[in-house]
Structure formats: structure tokens, C-alpha cells
């Protein structure tokens, strides 16, 4: 009987611990998203690399999806799926901007100072209403060097609005624009191709016709950004730092 009670106690304690285990949700676009066939596919999202840098004390759900903006992520019902699971003590990293710029696409475009800002504020407020902790991130930069070797910004007002929302609503923020700008510059115009998807025809099986993509990330690029992001998170007092290796 004692053995049975002990077994039940251990099972109940393990179940209680599992229920209390926090979850880190990621919402955003393709630069953060998990990619299919990671063993063969050269493209990786930086969020895809986070499990390697976090402890087993937290669950990670990466809901970031290719092509989504702060608007379409909600209208497609993807935010509802997160909200149904979100519980007190969880964390959400919010990173949009790349696709909010799509001015010829009414399903995705948002005006940075009105719709985009309102969307970010709504994500933050709804997260807090659940007792969870929002963390904002600016977009990663594109590899966009001019003829003089200067990295030229492509995101315009969108990262600024993220900073404004973070400041006004007192939300922890990781400035990935700054961190990835520093990374690209440190690699330089030519070597920075290794951070992205640059392959000649026949060089890799996954892209038989070759590839020249300065937005999306190679495994090296994704790993480098994930490490920089977690270093910043480690230095913040959000509670998430307790789950970073």
C-alpha cells in the first residue's frame, strides 16, 4: 500500500510540475520560423535554434510563420491558437515588421504609426491580461550593402515604432536590428553572404538552380542571431533569463 501511495505521489508531483512548466511562445515571420527538412534545407529561422540555447525547464512553441505580418498573423487565427494555450507565467516574443511593409498587399500591409503600432500594443496588452510576459524585438536587418560597402537600412519606421511601444508600455525589448546590423558589418559585404542563402547553380541539392537571398538565414546566420538574442535576454530581468543556458 505504501509503495502504491508513493508511486501516486511521484506521479502527481510530476504532473503538477509539468502543469507549472512555463512556455515560451514565438510569434513573427519567416526570419524566426521553423523550416521543414532542417537536415537538408539550408534555410533556418533564428527561433528554430533557440531550443539548443534554453534549458529543459521551459517549453518552446514557435508559431512564427513565413510571410506573416502583425495583421495577417491575427486575421488568420494564428494568435487565437496561442491565446487558447497562454497561461500565467508564460513568455511571448513578438517580432514583426518585414511583411508589414508589403504596401501592395492589403492582407499584410500596416501603416507603421497607426495599424502596426496598434497591433503591437494589442499583442502586449492581451499577453499581460493573461498574466504572461511579452518581449518585443525589432526586425533583423537584410544584407543590403551599397557600392561603398555601407549597410543600408530597409525597414524604415517599423523598428522605431517597436522601440516607441517598448518605451511607452514598459515592455522588455531586444533590438535585433542593432545586433544584426553589427553582425552583418562585422562580416562585411562578401563574407556576410554566409549568413544568408547564397548558392551557385548545382552547389546544393536543395537549390538546384542556385539561390541569392539576402533576407532569410543560413544555419550559421540563424545560430548567430539566436546567440545574440539570448545574450540580451540573459541580461534582462524578465524571468526568462532563468531558462537560458
Q: How far is CA 74 from CA 25, 28, 101, in A?
A: 15, 11, 16
SS (H, E, C) the chain: CHHHHHHHHHHHHHHHHHHHCCEEEEEECCCCCCCCCCCCCCEECHHHHHHHCECCCCEEEECCCCCCCCCHHHHCCHHHHHHHHCCCCCEEEEECCCCCCCCCCCCCCCCHHHHHHHHHHHHHHHHHHCCCEEEEECCCCCCCECCCCCECCCCCHHHHHHHHHHHHHCCCEECHHHHHHHHHHHHHHHHHHHHCEEECCCCCCCCCCCEEECCCEEHHHHHHHHHHHHHHHHCCCCCHHHHEC
Q: CA-to-CA distance for 90 and 54, rounded, in angstroms?
A: 14
Residues 132-179 have pLDDT tens digits of 999 999 999 999 999 999 999 999 999 999 999 999 999 999 999 999
Q: How far is CA 174 from CA 12, 58, 63, 95, in A?
A: 38, 20, 19, 10
- Beta bridge mates, 53: none
The model's pTM? 0.91
Q: In tens digits, what is the pLDDT along the chain, a chain of 245 residues? A: 555 544 444 444 444 444 579 999 999 999 999 999 999 999 999 999 999 999 999 999 999 999 999 999 999 999 999 999 999 999 999 999 999 999 999 999 999 999 999 999 999 999 999 999 999 999 999 999 999 999 999 999 999 999 999 999 999 999 999 999 999 999 999 999 999 999 999 999 999 999 999 999 999 999 999 999 999 999 998 999 999 99
Q: Which residues of 88-102 are buried (b: 16+ CB within 10 A; e: fewer)?
A: eebbbbbbbbbbbbb
Q: CA-to-CA distance for 12 and 19, rounded, in angstroms?
A: 11
Cβ-contact 44, 38 below 8 angstroms: yes
Q: CA-to-CA distance for 81 and 96, rounded, in angstroms?
A: 18
Instruction: Supply 127's cell numbers.
Output: 499577453
Residues 34-51 have pLDDT tens digits of 999 999 999 999 999 999
Amino acid at each position: 500500500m505504501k509503495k502504491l501511495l508513493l508511486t501516486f505521489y511521484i506521479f502527481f508531483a510530476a504532473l503538477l510540475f509539468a502543469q507549472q512548466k512555463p512556455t515560451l511562445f514565438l510569434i513573427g515571420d519567416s526570419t524566426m520560423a521553423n523550416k521543414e527538412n532542417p537536415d537538408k534545407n539550408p534555410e533556418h529561422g533564428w527561433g528554430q535554434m533557440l531550443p539548443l540555447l534554453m534549458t529543459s525547464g521551459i517549453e518552446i512553441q514557435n508559431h512564427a510563420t513565413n510571410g506573416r505580418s502583425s495583421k495577417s498573423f491575427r486575421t488568420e487565427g494564428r494568435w487565437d491558437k496561442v491565446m487558447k494555450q497562454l497561461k500565467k507565467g508564460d513568455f511571448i516574443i513578438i517580432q514583426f515588421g518585414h511583411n508589414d511593409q508589403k504596401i501592395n498587399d492589403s492582407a499584410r500591409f500596416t501603416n507603421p504609426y497607426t495599424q502596426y503600432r496598434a497591433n503591437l500594443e494589442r499583442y502586449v496588452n492581451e499577453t499581460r491580461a493573461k498574466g504572461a510576459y511579452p518581449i518585443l524585438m525589432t526586425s533583423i536587418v537584410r544584407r543590403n550593402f551599397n557600392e561603398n560597402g555601407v549597410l543600408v537600412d530597409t525597414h524604415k519606421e517599423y523598428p522605431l515604432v517597436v522601440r516607441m511601444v517598448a518605451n511607452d508600455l514598459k515592455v522588455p525589448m531586444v533590438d535585433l536590428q542593432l545586433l544584426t546590423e553589427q553582425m552583418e558589418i562585422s562580416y562585411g559585404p562578401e563574407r556576410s553572404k554566409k549568413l544568408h542563402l547564397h548558392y551557385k547553380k548545382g552547389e546544393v541539392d536543395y537549390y538546384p538552380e542556385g539561390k541569392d537571398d539576402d533576407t532569410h538565414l543560413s544555419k550559421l546566420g540563424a545560430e548567430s542571431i539566436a546567440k545574440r538574442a539570448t545574450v540580451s535576454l540573459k541580461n534582462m530581468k524578465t524571468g526568462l533569463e532563468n531558462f537560458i543556458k
